[in-house]
Amino acid sequence: MNAHPITRVIDKTMICMSLLALFLPLAGCAGGFSNLERGPVPEAGRIAIPSEGSASGSWSMRDLDITYTLQRTAGGIAIYGGVTFNSRIRFNFTQIRNFAMSMVYLDGQGNILGAKSILVSAVENPERRMGFSSTAAPPAGAESIAFRYTGEALASDGDDGGGVTGAIFDGPR
């Protein structure tokens, strides 16, 4: 049995209002830095590039957590690891679209020297861990890195294929 058309409109309106209530308070309170901020990355937002050997760690951002290993190689650095979306994303969205993550090279003062794309995905399930692996020669003067990402999170509203899409992003520009 199909719901009355006005009931479907009310259901969609309630979903939209709930999502707005959830995300509006978060719009201006990204921890650390966000891609809306420009200028040097603060020391707390930098990951040192090892002068030799490797270094592993984890990094939490607004929408996701990253585990990584940075390894010094003969030609530069290798980075590999994984990305998992946090519970706010996993519980409220059914799909991640157009996701892209980069490793941003920083000098000793936190200024951006360049970036290397390390993960691109057209469509993902937010419950799934995404792996990445990349090797690159960092630009001269690079002492540390930071991560940045962009994408869209989709909350499906049922059988008719509609839904609410929100932008996800964080990191230095």
Ordered by where they begin, the domains of the chain are: 5-170 (2.60.40)
| Residue 160: predicted pLDDT | 57
Residues with Cβ < 8 Å from 8, sequence gap 6 or more?
Answer: 160
- Mind listing the pLDDT tens digit for each residue in 139-155? 999 999 999 999 999 99
Residue 61 has pLDDT above 80, yes or no: yes
Q: What are phi and psi of 133, to 5 degrees?
A: -160, 130
Mean pLDDT of the chain, nearest integer? 82
Q: Tell me 2's DSSP state.
A: P
158 φ/ψ sector (left φ>0, alpha ψ -120 to 50, else beta): left
Residue 137 has pLDDT above 70, yes or no: yes
Confidence of residue 163 (pLDDT cuts 50, 70, 90): confident
